[in-house]
Amino acid sequence: MSDPSYLKLDRLTLAYGDTVAVKDLNLSIGKGELVALLGPSGCGKTTTMRAIAGLLTPASGNINLDGADITRVSANRRAVGLVFQSYALFPHLTVYENVAFGLRLKGIRGNELDARVGAGLKSVGLASFSGRKPAELSGGQQQRVALARSMVMEPKVLLLDEPLSNLDARLRLEMRTELQRVQKETGVTMIFVTHDQVEALALADRIIVMLNGGIEQIGTPEDIYNRPISAFVADFVGFENVFALENGKLKTASGAVTPSAPAPSSAAGLAWRPHTVTLGSGPFQGTVRGTSFAGNSREYLLDTPLGPIKAEVDAAVAVHAMGSQLAFDLPVAAAASLAKYR
């Protein structure tokens, strides 16, 4: 069994001057894991990545990697690779020379250099592109060159900063598959930073959701998607109808409202995805204020005494006209039960 604390952040506090960006962060990542740091801008995810890479000195706390304290080890000596959002390829160098650059700095030459660069390019499917310049490559190919350049250094941990944000939708899908393949084949511990929940859910073994410089929730993609623990996480992963609970009642724009069935006694809030809203029947009433066709489904925005409600139904269902009155329900059985609400 691999070490579940292969990379360990212990009470890590990170600051820019007097501004604390991350406070008392505790996190353990196992060897060979593919982990996402997910959250909105300013939550501390990129700052945490920079500290792991050695680009930011912690105000306090420790970073341990493979049994060694690397908190004060310089970036070029801590066996951590970093793939930048901008790729940071040298435009005047060929693909081969870009990938070989770090190896040359380490004094590697000759047959060993050729073998490692060749293996790196082969691992990302670019063995036949070694003589090209970055300008002759697509965005996805440039991303793979940047990945190969880091991988040939044989890092213990590979960090990726918003790795797919510069790619179009089709290339993002291809690169997700490519990243997963490379990570599983090499077994490298990989951490990527993203604000895109779809990307995190599709790629990661585990997701660390961050908020205000701390960890809001850690779990598998299935945990995060189906069982958010807070209103923030629920909203972030697509539960668009989120309500606090007080004395078993929903706190709404019009005051306390009794749900259609008893809420769990331990819940601080309830959250519904649009497709779990029952439209056309139920104890509540709303007015259609917006509608949009979304391929296999149709989305509705209802103006209700509870506040805005978003619902989604099969596109084959008859269209409800703008301004029409509709009954609806928020089935408690279909809701995510939130342990905290804020």
Identify whether the C-beta of residue 7 lies closer than 8 Å to the C-beta of residue 70. no
Structure tokens at 246: 């007080």
Minimal CA–CA distance to 38: which of 172, 198, 242, 179? 198
pLDDT in tens, the chain (342 residues): 467 889 999 999 999 999 999 999 999 999 999 999 999 999 999 999 999 999 999 999 999 999 999 999 999 899 999 988 778 899 999 999 999 999 999 899 999 999 999 998 988 889 999 999 999 998 888 888 988 999 899 999 999 988 777 777 777 777 788 888 888 988 999 999 999 898 899 999 999 999 999 999 999 999 999 999 999 999 999 999 999 999 999 999 899 999 999 999 999 999 999 999 999 999 999 999 999 998 999 999 999 999 999 999 999 998 999 999 999 999 999 999 999 987
Cβ atoms < 10 Å from Cβ of 262: 9
Say what the pTM is.
0.89
Minimal CA–CA distance to 264: which of 188, 342, 163, 339? 339
Minimal CA–CA distance to 150: which of 174, 179, 170, 172? 179
- CATH says 7-229 is which class? alpha beta
**Directed axis angle between helix 139-151 and helix 169-186, to 10°?**
20
Identify whether the C-beta of residue 11 lies closer than 8 Å to the C-beta of residue 24. yes
pLDDT digits (tens, 9 = 90+) for 40-50: 999 999 999 99
According to the model, what pLDDT value does residue 139 have? 84
165 burial via Cβ count (<10 Å: 0-12, 13-18, 19+): middle
According to the model, what pLDDT value does residue 2 have? 62
Indicate the domain borders of the chain: 7-229, 232-338
In angstroms, the CA 216 to CA 211 distance is 6
**Helical ranges in 79-218 per DSSP H:** 95-105, 110-123, 139-151, 169-186, 197-203
pLDDT digits (tens, 9 = 90+) for 189-211: 999 999 989 889 999 999 999 99
- CATH says 232-338 is which class? mainly beta
In angstroms, the CA 22 to CA 42 distance is 10
- Residue 169 DSSP one-character state: H
* 3-class SS shares of the chain: helix, strand, coil, % to 5: 30, 35, 35
Identify whether the C-beta of residue 48 lies closer than 8 Å to the C-beta of residue 59. no
3-state secondary structure of 197: helix
